[in-house]
Amino acid sequence: MRNEASLLNFLPILICFLLLFLSVPSYSDSEKNTIQMLIMHQIPYGFKDKNNEKTGVLYDILNQIIKKSNMNKSIRIVPPKRLVSMMQDNKVCTIVANTPDIKIFDLIEPVGFKLTAGILPAIGITLDSYSSLKNKVIAVPLGIIFDEKFHRDTTLTKVRPPHYINAIKMLKRGRVDAVAGALLTLKYIAKKQGMNLASFTKPLILAQTELYFVCTTDLDKDNRKRLKNAVIELKLNETIKKIFIKYFGI
């Protein structure tokens, strides 16, 4: 249960972060024996744009990894529940944050980017220490667990919207004082909702973790080497860096 929760909490951003689910559906033998490239369905990691085209920062990076490794694979954008269950019983590769509980997977290579998570406050709200969270109403999307102290703290006032976008909308409407999660992801979604940096004050950072390209441990050595080398080359030629700049402006 803990492995599934942590993997789901940190994919994205976040990505990446993941949700805890219990059920594990069954799949055909052909699906189990084929290497599958997956990205979690979550803005801005993997989603469809207004033209119904697949896009997203992690989707774009994985697409470049596939091309560079000369693997004839397509990327599936799947709900978090399906992603976690498939990684338990299939040959799967994806991009997740490096946390202690994903050590059961093969961390092929870091992609060269760290996700920072914490609490993003509305304008006028000052969070200069953990104690300043007292008496604040904080939107924590369901399943988001990035700091054990914060997660277990029952003295804080937390509300549980289903997704990041719902949390941002609550902040925009003044229903909460702050939102918890991956900071770049929160700011990206806020921008899409017509908000800007002037809508927030300095965030309280609680966690930082590195993104990794990972696969299930049953990946054969040849494909593992090809994929690892592809990630390394994409870092060296700054392709991955340019993708992050495209989405996050950093």
pLDDT given for residue 33 in this prediction = 56
Burial class of residue 5 (count of CB atoms within 10 Å of its CB; 0-12, 13-18, 19+): middle
- Classify 70 as helix, strand or coil: coil
Closest-CA residue to 199 (of 123, 129, 121) = 123
Domain 116-207 sits in CATH 3.30.420.40? no
Q: How many Cβ atoms are within 10 Å of 48's Cβ, its own excluded?
A: 14
Q: CB–CB of 61/111 below 8 Å?
A: yes
- Would you give per-residue pLDDT tens digits along the chain (250 residues)? 444 444 444 444 333 333 322 233 444 444 455 899 999 888 899 999 989 999 999 999 999 999 999 998 999 999 877 887 888 878 999 998 887 667 788 999 999 999 899 999 999 999 999 999 999 999 998 767 788 899 999 999 999 998 889 999 999 999 999 999 999 999 999 998 999 888 899 999 999 989 999 999 988 999 999 999 999 999 999 999 999 999 998 6
pLDDT (0 to 100) of residue 100: 64
CA dist 110 and 92 (Å) reads: 17
The pTM of the full predicted model, rounded to 2 decimals, is 0.77
Which token pair is 241? 């860096």
Within 8 A by CB and 6+ apart from 22, the residues are 1
Residue 162 phi/psi, 5-degree rounding, is -70, -35
Q: Where are the beta strands (DSSP E) in 147-248?
A: 157-159, 178-182, 204-215
Specify the pLDDT at position 89: 77
118: part of which helix (H) or strand (E)? Answer: strand 106-121
Phi, psi at 224, each rounded to 5°: -60, -45
CATH superfamily to which 2-114+209-248 belongs? Periplasmic binding protein-like II (3.40.190.10)
* Domain ranges in the chain with CATH number 3.40.190.10: 2-114+209-248, 116-207
Q: 211: closest CA among 41, 21, 45? A: 45
